[in-house]
Amino acid sequence: MNFIKKNWFLLALAAVCAITIVETGARLAQAGNWCKSKHGADAVIFLIFLATGLILKTEKIREGVEDIKGIAITLTIIFVIAPGAAYAIALLPLDPGIKIGLFLVAIMPSTLTSGVVMTGASGGNMANSLLITIIGNGLSIITIPLTLTILLGIGGESQSVPIQKGTMMVQIALLVMVPLLIGLVLRPKRLNLDRWFQRMIPVFNQCMILVIVWMALSGAREAVLGGGARTFQILILSFLFHAILLAVAFISARLFRIGPGKRESIIFMGGQKTLPLSVLLQTTLFPQYGLSLVFCVIHHFVHLMMDGYLVGRFRTSAHYKTQRR
């Protein structure tokens, strides 16, 4: 029972993925696709950041903005280390579709939701991870076409990458900043209610991540099932790619003496990649390479599984240190 309590998110994530994929009638996937078509994912993201605003503290916001070193390290991992690692892995004899999927994942900015949620659930500074999300997604408008050109060698075709700059920034504002500000305004003043929120909202946010995973996997179910024997290879490569990013994040935190409370943003925001934009580019630019879509989807769930395990480890470690004091 203690094991389940400590690792409930990891176990729930595995269950959601497995059930959505293997369910014979696909009714769960159909329901997920329906919710997604009704802007269910947008609603969930809005709720996550509204809830996050309810527990953000002023001192945490100030610390997050002042952590310039952590922000610089994380952005370096996102935009330099990740494409470099993908290029190194692509030197292996891989199917072209798998290489394209790997490249699409590598050039993505960090996620809008799961990285922030996991940073907070691990005891890290959520304000810092939010700032990294906003900066990273803003920079990706410039970096994605450039990095795609380098990795794929498409030369003058970089102009065909369909990134709508205005739409992306409006999306970040409406789904992240607006609900966050509403949450900050509505933050409870009563101490007992604030403590209850501090305890329950991280759990609520993790449950919302499970809902997003369900909707995303529902839409990609057929692509994953159609991957055949290559699916196992993609699983291994996704694990390897994310493990490299995690290793760089841990080593960087140690080298620059960034301890608990600040290192979580580097670890979770540096390695996690957003899924919707990678799927958009795949379906627009490379629809003939079905394996590239499978890679985008499988990597998303692999890195959530790996980071979900780390959340449990960090929480256990934090609890242990508290008990020792």
Distance (Å, whole) CA 71 – CA 85: 20
Per-domain boundaries in the chain: 26-313
pLDDT interval class at 270 (50, 70, 90): very high
- The per-residue pLDDT for 266 is 95
Q: Measuring CA to CA, which residue among 13, 12, 147 is closest to residue 82? A: 147
- Kindly state the average pLDDT of the residues 25-35: 87
> Selecting from 3.30.565.10, 1.20.1530.20, 3.40.50.850, 2.160.10.10, what CATH number does the domain 26-313 have?
1.20.1530.20
pLDDT interval class at 167 (50, 70, 90): low
- The per-residue pLDDT for 185 is 86
Per-residue pLDDT at 283 exceeds 80: no
Per-residue pLDDT at 33 exceeds 70: yes
Q: For 59-112, how does the pLDDT look when each residue is reduced to its tens digit (9 = 90+)?
A: 667 777 788 899 999 999 999 999 999 999 998 988 888 999 999 999 998 887
- The per-residue pLDDT for 289 is 78
Q: How many CA atoms lie within 13 A of 41 on its CB side?
A: 19
Token duo for residue 251: 């080593």
Return the higher-pLDDT residue of 224 and 150: 150
pLDDT interval class at 16 (50, 70, 90): confident
Mean pLDDT, the chain, whole residue set: 82
Radius of gyration of the chain from its Cα atoms, rounded to whole angstroms: 19
Q: In whole angstroms, how far apart are CA 263 and each of 3, 19, 66, 125, 256?
A: 25, 34, 14, 9, 10
- Kindly state the average pLDDT of the residues 283-312: 84
- The per-residue pLDDT for 54 is 85
- Kindly state the average pLDDT of the residues 162-189: 72
- The per-residue pLDDT for 233 is 92
Q: For 95-108, how does the pLDDT look when each residue is reduced to its tens digit (9 = 90+)?
A: 888 999 999 999 99
- The per-residue pLDDT for 172 is 62
Q: For 185-243, how does the pLDDT look when each residue is reduced to its tens digit (9 = 90+)?
A: 888 878 778 788 888 888 888 888 788 878 877 877 777 777 677 888 999 999 999 99
- Three-state DSSP class for 153? coil
- The per-residue pLDDT for 323 is 38
Token duo for residue 31: 């329901």
pLDDT interval class at 254 (50, 70, 90): very high
Beta carbons within 8 Å of 294's beta carbon, 6+ residues apart = 97, 101, 220, 223, 224, 226, 227, 230, 231, 234
Task: Give percent above pLDDT 70 in the chain.
Answer: 87
Distance (Å, whole) CA 16 – CA 29: 11
- The per-residue pLDDT for 50 is 87
pLDDT interval class at 171 (50, 70, 90): low
- Kindly state the average pLDDT of the residues 118-137: 86
- Kindly state the average pLDDT of the residues 44-48: 84
Q: In whole angstroms, how far apart are CA 104 and each of 44, 86, 201, 298, 313?
A: 25, 9, 32, 13, 30
Neighbours of 128 (CB within 10 A): 27
